[in-house]
Amino acid sequence: MIGLVDKFGRQISYLRISVIDRCNLSCFYCTPAADGCRSVMGDALKLDELVRIVRAAALCGVSKIRLTGGEPLLRPDLVELVKNISSIPGITDISLTTNGALLKKLARPLAAAGLNRVNISLDSLHPEAFHRITRGGKLEDTIAGLWAAYEAGLTPVKINVVLLKDVNDGEVSEFARLTLDRDVDVRFIEFMPISGDSHDWKKHYQPIDIAMAHCVAIASLVEAESPENGGPARYFRFKGGKGRLGFISPLSRHFCGDCNRLRVTAQGKLRACLFSDEEIDLRPLLVQENAVIRAFSQALAAKPDPTRLDSDPLVRCRPNTLGMVSIGG
Protein backbone atom coordinates (compact mmCIF):
# COMPACT_ATOMS: atom_id res chain seq x y z
CA MET A 1 0.00 0.00 0.00
CA ILE A 2 1.25 3.48 -0.86
CA GLY A 3 0.29 6.63 0.96
CA LEU A 4 -1.00 9.82 -0.63
CA VAL A 5 0.68 12.87 0.87
CA ASP A 6 0.75 16.16 -1.02
CA LYS A 7 3.63 18.65 -1.05
CA PHE A 8 2.05 20.56 1.83
CA GLY A 9 2.03 17.49 4.07
CA ARG A 10 -1.68 16.72 3.83
CA GLN A 11 -2.41 13.00 3.94
CA ILE A 12 -5.26 11.97 1.63
CA SER A 13 -7.44 9.22 3.07
CA TYR A 14 -10.90 10.26 1.89
CA LEU A 15 -12.49 9.92 -1.56
CA ARG A 16 -15.83 11.48 -2.51
CA ILE A 17 -17.48 9.93 -5.56
CA SER A 18 -20.44 11.36 -7.44
CA VAL A 19 -22.29 8.25 -8.60
CA ILE A 20 -24.95 10.08 -10.61
CA ASP A 21 -25.44 13.60 -11.94
CA ARG A 22 -29.21 13.73 -11.67
CA CYS A 23 -31.40 14.71 -8.74
CA ASN A 24 -35.08 14.42 -7.93
CA LEU A 25 -35.04 17.87 -6.31
CA SER A 26 -33.86 21.20 -7.67
CA CYS A 27 -32.60 23.29 -4.76
CA PHE A 28 -32.13 26.87 -5.88
CA TYR A 29 -28.66 27.22 -4.34
CA CYS A 30 -27.39 24.09 -6.09
CA THR A 31 -28.66 24.76 -9.59
CA PRO A 32 -29.79 28.14 -10.96
CA ALA A 33 -32.09 26.40 -13.46
CA ALA A 34 -35.64 26.02 -12.22
CA ASP A 35 -36.49 23.02 -14.39
CA GLY A 36 -34.76 20.39 -12.29
CA CYS A 37 -31.40 18.67 -11.92
CA ARG A 38 -31.34 16.62 -15.06
CA SER A 39 -28.16 14.86 -16.15
CA VAL A 40 -25.50 17.44 -16.97
CA MET A 41 -22.98 15.30 -18.85
CA GLY A 42 -24.61 11.85 -19.05
CA ASP A 43 -22.78 8.51 -19.27
CA ALA A 44 -22.14 8.09 -15.55
CA LEU A 45 -19.64 5.51 -14.35
CA LYS A 46 -20.85 1.91 -14.33
CA LEU A 47 -20.80 -0.20 -11.19
CA ASP A 48 -17.68 -2.16 -12.16
CA GLU A 49 -15.87 1.08 -13.04
CA LEU A 50 -16.69 2.58 -9.66
CA VAL A 51 -15.48 -0.53 -7.87
CA ARG A 52 -12.19 -0.50 -9.77
CA ILE A 53 -11.62 3.15 -8.83
CA VAL A 54 -12.28 2.45 -5.15
CA ARG A 55 -10.03 -0.62 -5.21
CA ALA A 56 -7.16 1.47 -6.61
CA ALA A 57 -7.86 4.23 -4.09
CA ALA A 58 -7.69 1.71 -1.24
CA LEU A 59 -4.28 0.58 -2.48
CA CYS A 60 -3.23 4.24 -2.21
CA GLY A 61 -4.23 4.40 1.44
CA VAL A 62 -7.77 5.74 1.09
CA SER A 63 -9.98 4.29 3.82
CA LYS A 64 -13.08 6.50 3.72
CA ILE A 65 -15.54 6.63 0.81
CA ARG A 66 -18.47 9.01 0.48
CA LEU A 67 -21.03 8.42 -2.27
CA THR A 68 -22.68 11.60 -3.49
CA GLY A 69 -24.55 12.97 -6.49
CA GLY A 70 -26.83 14.36 -7.77
CA GLU A 71 -29.04 12.13 -5.72
CA PRO A 72 -27.28 8.76 -5.28
CA LEU A 73 -30.49 6.96 -4.30
CA LEU A 74 -31.64 7.32 -7.91
CA ARG A 75 -29.08 4.68 -8.93
CA PRO A 76 -30.89 1.33 -9.16
CA ASP A 77 -27.67 -0.56 -8.37
CA LEU A 78 -26.70 1.52 -5.33
CA VAL A 79 -27.18 -1.27 -2.77
CA GLU A 80 -25.05 -3.61 -4.88
CA LEU A 81 -22.41 -0.89 -5.24
CA VAL A 82 -22.21 -0.40 -1.47
CA LYS A 83 -21.94 -4.17 -0.97
CA ASN A 84 -19.06 -4.37 -3.45
CA ILE A 85 -17.20 -1.43 -1.93
CA SER A 86 -17.61 -2.77 1.60
CA SER A 87 -15.75 -5.94 0.60
CA ILE A 88 -12.63 -4.05 -0.58
CA PRO A 89 -9.72 -4.47 1.85
CA GLY A 90 -8.69 -1.19 3.45
CA ILE A 91 -12.08 0.52 3.14
CA THR A 92 -13.28 1.03 6.71
CA ASP A 93 -15.95 3.70 6.32
CA ILE A 94 -18.66 4.14 3.68
CA SER A 95 -21.06 7.05 3.90
CA LEU A 96 -23.68 8.63 1.69
CA THR A 97 -24.98 12.15 1.11
CA THR A 98 -28.66 12.24 0.13
CA ASN A 99 -31.72 14.45 0.22
CA GLY A 100 -33.45 11.55 1.98
CA ALA A 101 -36.63 11.58 -0.12
CA LEU A 102 -36.12 7.95 -1.22
CA LEU A 103 -34.39 6.73 1.92
CA LYS A 104 -37.40 5.29 3.74
CA LYS A 105 -37.32 2.10 1.64
CA LEU A 106 -33.55 1.94 1.15
CA ALA A 107 -32.12 2.64 4.61
CA ARG A 108 -32.20 -0.97 5.85
CA PRO A 109 -30.95 -2.57 2.59
CA LEU A 110 -28.09 -0.07 2.46
CA ALA A 111 -27.17 -0.70 6.09
CA ALA A 112 -27.20 -4.46 5.46
CA ALA A 113 -24.94 -3.94 2.42
CA GLY A 114 -22.32 -2.18 4.52
CA LEU A 115 -23.20 1.51 4.56
CA ASN A 116 -22.10 3.10 7.83
CA ARG A 117 -23.69 6.54 7.89
CA VAL A 118 -25.78 9.06 5.98
CA ASN A 119 -25.71 12.82 5.66
CA ILE A 120 -29.16 14.17 4.87
CA SER A 121 -29.58 17.56 3.20
CA LEU A 122 -32.43 19.28 5.01
CA ASP A 123 -32.61 23.06 4.80
CA SER A 124 -35.97 23.74 6.46
CA LEU A 125 -38.24 22.11 9.00
CA HIS A 126 -41.28 23.90 7.59
CA PRO A 127 -43.12 22.36 4.62
CA GLU A 128 -43.68 25.58 2.69
CA ALA A 129 -40.10 26.80 3.03
CA PHE A 130 -38.78 23.33 2.18
CA HIS A 131 -40.97 23.24 -0.93
CA ARG A 132 -39.69 26.66 -1.96
CA ILE A 133 -35.99 25.88 -1.41
CA THR A 134 -36.15 22.54 -3.22
CA ARG A 135 -38.55 23.77 -5.90
CA GLY A 136 -41.19 21.15 -5.23
CA GLY A 137 -39.87 18.75 -2.58
CA LYS A 138 -42.02 17.28 0.17
CA LEU A 139 -40.66 17.69 3.68
CA GLU A 140 -42.47 14.59 4.95
CA ASP A 141 -40.51 12.39 2.53
CA THR A 142 -37.15 13.60 3.80
CA ILE A 143 -38.23 13.38 7.44
CA ALA A 144 -39.41 9.80 6.87
CA GLY A 145 -36.05 8.98 5.31
CA LEU A 146 -34.20 10.57 8.21
CA TRP A 147 -35.95 8.47 10.83
CA ALA A 148 -35.63 5.34 8.68
CA ALA A 149 -31.86 5.90 8.65
CA TYR A 150 -31.88 6.38 12.40
CA GLU A 151 -33.82 3.14 12.94
CA ALA A 152 -31.55 1.25 10.52
CA GLY A 153 -28.51 2.15 12.62
CA LEU A 154 -26.94 4.55 10.12
CA THR A 155 -25.80 6.71 13.01
CA PRO A 156 -24.93 9.30 13.84
CA VAL A 157 -27.40 10.63 11.29
CA LYS A 158 -26.05 13.96 10.09
CA ILE A 159 -28.37 16.74 8.98
CA ASN A 160 -26.73 19.21 6.61
CA VAL A 161 -28.27 22.69 6.67
CA VAL A 162 -27.06 25.26 4.15
CA LEU A 163 -27.36 28.58 5.96
CA LEU A 164 -29.40 30.97 3.77
CA LYS A 165 -29.98 34.54 4.88
CA ASP A 166 -33.66 35.56 4.81
CA VAL A 167 -34.63 32.00 3.88
CA ASN A 168 -33.88 29.61 6.74
CA ASP A 169 -31.64 31.57 9.13
CA GLY A 170 -34.64 31.99 11.42
CA GLU A 171 -34.70 28.20 11.90
CA VAL A 172 -31.19 27.83 13.32
CA SER A 173 -32.43 27.49 16.90
CA GLU A 174 -35.11 25.00 15.87
CA PHE A 175 -32.56 22.82 14.12
CA ALA A 176 -30.09 23.13 16.99
CA ARG A 177 -32.63 21.96 19.57
CA LEU A 178 -32.92 18.63 17.73
CA THR A 179 -29.56 17.68 19.25
CA LEU A 180 -30.70 18.15 22.83
CA ASP A 181 -32.43 14.78 23.15
CA ARG A 182 -31.55 12.95 19.91
CA ASP A 183 -28.35 11.28 18.71
CA VAL A 184 -28.17 13.37 15.57
CA ASP A 185 -25.57 15.79 14.25
CA VAL A 186 -26.90 19.05 12.87
CA ARG A 187 -24.31 20.78 10.71
CA PHE A 188 -24.64 24.35 9.49
CA ILE A 189 -22.82 25.08 6.24
CA GLU A 190 -21.99 28.43 4.68
CA PHE A 191 -23.59 29.06 1.30
CA MET A 192 -20.90 28.89 -1.41
CA PRO A 193 -21.13 30.68 -4.79
CA ILE A 194 -20.45 27.41 -6.60
CA SER A 195 -23.42 27.60 -8.97
CA GLY A 196 -22.08 30.73 -10.63
CA ASP A 197 -24.89 33.01 -9.50
CA SER A 198 -22.95 35.62 -7.56
CA HIS A 199 -25.99 37.88 -7.15
CA ASP A 200 -27.96 35.11 -5.45
CA TRP A 201 -24.95 34.27 -3.30
CA LYS A 202 -24.50 37.83 -2.07
CA LYS A 203 -28.21 38.05 -1.29
CA HIS A 204 -28.29 34.90 0.84
CA TYR A 205 -24.75 34.43 2.20
CA GLN A 206 -24.37 34.56 5.96
CA PRO A 207 -21.16 33.76 7.89
CA ILE A 208 -21.25 30.74 10.14
CA ASP A 209 -20.56 32.80 13.28
CA ILE A 210 -24.16 34.03 13.16
CA ALA A 211 -25.44 30.46 13.39
CA MET A 212 -23.10 29.83 16.31
CA ALA A 213 -24.47 32.91 18.07
CA HIS A 214 -28.03 31.59 17.74
CA CYS A 215 -26.92 28.29 19.29
CA VAL A 216 -25.07 29.90 22.18
CA ALA A 217 -28.23 31.83 23.00
CA ILE A 218 -29.98 28.50 23.70
CA ALA A 219 -27.37 27.06 26.06
CA SER A 220 -23.65 26.86 26.61
CA LEU A 221 -21.65 24.97 24.00
CA VAL A 222 -18.84 22.59 24.87
CA GLU A 223 -16.35 21.38 22.29
CA ALA A 224 -17.10 17.85 21.07
CA GLU A 225 -14.94 15.20 19.53
CA SER A 226 -14.70 15.14 15.75
CA PRO A 227 -15.23 11.87 13.86
CA GLU A 228 -12.11 9.86 13.11
CA ASN A 229 -10.86 10.60 9.59
CA GLY A 230 -13.58 13.24 9.60
CA GLY A 231 -14.43 16.24 7.49
CA PRO A 232 -14.26 20.00 7.91
CA ALA A 233 -16.87 20.61 10.62
CA ARG A 234 -16.00 21.97 14.05
CA TYR A 235 -18.18 20.10 16.53
CA PHE A 236 -19.83 21.23 19.76
CA ARG A 237 -22.56 19.99 22.07
CA PHE A 238 -25.06 21.65 24.28
CA LYS A 239 -24.09 20.76 27.82
CA GLY A 240 -25.99 17.52 28.50
CA GLY A 241 -27.15 17.20 24.89
CA LYS A 242 -27.11 13.84 23.09
CA GLY A 243 -26.24 15.05 19.59
CA ARG A 244 -23.64 17.39 18.18
CA LEU A 245 -23.66 20.71 16.39
CA GLY A 246 -21.28 21.12 13.47
CA PHE A 247 -20.16 24.36 11.86
CA ILE A 248 -18.64 24.31 8.37
CA SER A 249 -17.10 27.55 7.15
CA PRO A 250 -15.56 27.16 3.66
CA LEU A 251 -15.55 30.93 3.14
CA SER A 252 -15.27 32.87 6.39
CA ARG A 253 -12.73 30.48 7.94
CA HIS A 254 -11.53 28.09 5.26
CA PHE A 255 -10.19 24.67 6.26
CA CYS A 256 -8.05 23.93 3.20
CA GLY A 257 -4.98 23.34 5.34
CA ASP A 258 -6.62 20.22 6.77
CA CYS A 259 -8.11 18.88 3.53
CA ASN A 260 -7.76 15.09 3.31
CA ARG A 261 -9.86 14.37 0.22
CA LEU A 262 -9.97 13.87 -3.51
CA ARG A 263 -13.10 13.79 -5.69
CA VAL A 264 -14.32 11.75 -8.63
CA THR A 265 -17.06 13.20 -10.81
CA ALA A 266 -19.98 11.18 -12.12
CA GLN A 267 -18.13 10.70 -15.42
CA GLY A 268 -14.90 9.51 -13.81
CA LYS A 269 -12.83 12.71 -13.68
CA LEU A 270 -10.48 12.85 -10.71
CA ARG A 271 -10.33 16.28 -9.06
CA ALA A 272 -8.00 17.39 -6.31
CA CYS A 273 -10.11 20.36 -5.24
CA LEU A 274 -13.78 21.33 -5.42
CA PHE A 275 -12.83 24.81 -6.61
CA SER A 276 -10.52 23.75 -9.43
CA ASP A 277 -11.26 22.69 -13.00
CA GLU A 278 -8.07 20.62 -13.21
CA GLU A 279 -8.93 16.94 -13.60
CA ILE A 280 -7.64 13.56 -14.75
CA ASP A 281 -9.89 11.26 -16.76
CA LEU A 282 -9.78 7.89 -15.00
CA ARG A 283 -12.02 6.03 -17.43
CA PRO A 284 -9.35 5.24 -20.08
CA LEU A 285 -7.01 4.12 -17.29
CA LEU A 286 -9.30 1.55 -15.71
CA VAL A 287 -7.93 -1.32 -17.81
CA GLN A 288 -4.73 -1.09 -15.77
CA GLU A 289 -4.90 -0.68 -12.01
CA ASN A 290 -1.39 0.74 -11.77
CA ALA A 291 -2.36 3.54 -14.14
CA VAL A 292 -5.22 4.55 -11.83
CA ILE A 293 -2.88 4.45 -8.85
CA ARG A 294 -0.45 6.75 -10.69
CA ALA A 295 -3.32 9.12 -11.48
CA PHE A 296 -4.12 9.45 -7.78
CA SER A 297 -0.50 10.36 -7.10
CA GLN A 298 -0.44 12.83 -10.00
CA ALA A 299 -3.61 14.53 -8.77
CA LEU A 300 -1.85 15.63 -5.60
CA ALA A 301 0.07 18.22 -7.63
CA ALA A 302 -3.21 20.11 -8.15
CA LYS A 303 -3.94 20.45 -4.44
CA PRO A 304 -3.79 24.22 -3.79
CA ASP A 305 -1.42 25.90 -1.38
CA PRO A 306 -3.61 26.63 1.67
CA THR A 307 -1.47 29.64 2.59
CA ARG A 308 -2.02 31.40 -0.75
CA LEU A 309 -5.77 31.17 -1.25
CA ASP A 310 -7.48 34.30 -2.46
CA SER A 311 -9.49 36.00 0.26
CA ASP A 312 -12.33 36.91 -2.12
CA PRO A 313 -14.84 34.02 -2.15
CA LEU A 314 -15.98 34.90 -5.66
CA VAL A 315 -12.42 34.35 -6.87
CA ARG A 316 -11.63 31.29 -4.80
CA CYS A 317 -15.04 29.73 -5.53
CA ARG A 318 -15.19 30.76 -9.16
CA PRO A 319 -18.15 29.27 -11.07
CA ASN A 320 -17.47 25.65 -11.86
CA THR A 321 -17.98 24.42 -15.38
CA LEU A 322 -19.87 21.31 -14.24
CA GLY A 323 -21.66 22.42 -11.11
CA MET A 324 -22.24 20.51 -7.88
CA VAL A 325 -24.70 18.07 -9.43
CA SER A 326 -21.89 16.36 -11.36
CA ILE A 327 -18.88 17.05 -9.14
CA GLY A 328 -20.61 15.77 -6.02
CA GLY A 329 -21.69 17.75 -2.96
User: From first to last of its 329 residues, what are the pLDDT tens digits of the chain?
Assistant: 678 888 878 888 999 999 999 999 999 888 766 555 665 556 899 999 999 999 999 999 999 999 999 999 999 999 999 999 999 999 999 999 999 999 999 999 999 999 999 999 999 999 999 999 999 999 999 999 999 999 999 998 999 999 999 999 999 999 999 999 998 999 999 987 765 555 577 788 889 999 999 999 999 999 998 876 556 789 999 998 999 999 998 766 655 766 778 999 999 999 988 767 789 999 999 999 999 999 999 998 888 777 665 555 455 555 454 555 556 65
Question: Which domains occur in the chain, in start order?
Answer: 14-327 (3.20.20.70)
pTM here? 0.90
CB 204 within 8 A of CB 29: yes
Contacts of 272 (CB under 8 A, 6+ apart): 262, 263, 278, 299, 300, 301, 302, 303, 304
Q: What is the sign, positive or negative, of the torsion defined by CA atoms of 120, 125, 130, 133? A: negative
In the beta sheet, which residues pair with residue 163? 190
The residue among 163, 176, 38, 24 whose CA lies nearest residue 100 is 24
In the beta sheet, which residues pair with residue 96? 67, 118
Q: What tens digit of pLDDT does each residue of 209-238 get?
A: 999 999 999 999 999 988 765 567 899 999
As a whole number of angstroms, the distance between CA 273 and CA 254 comes to 13
Helix/strand/coil for 136: coil
As a whole number of angstroms, the distance between CA 43 and CA 102 comes to 22
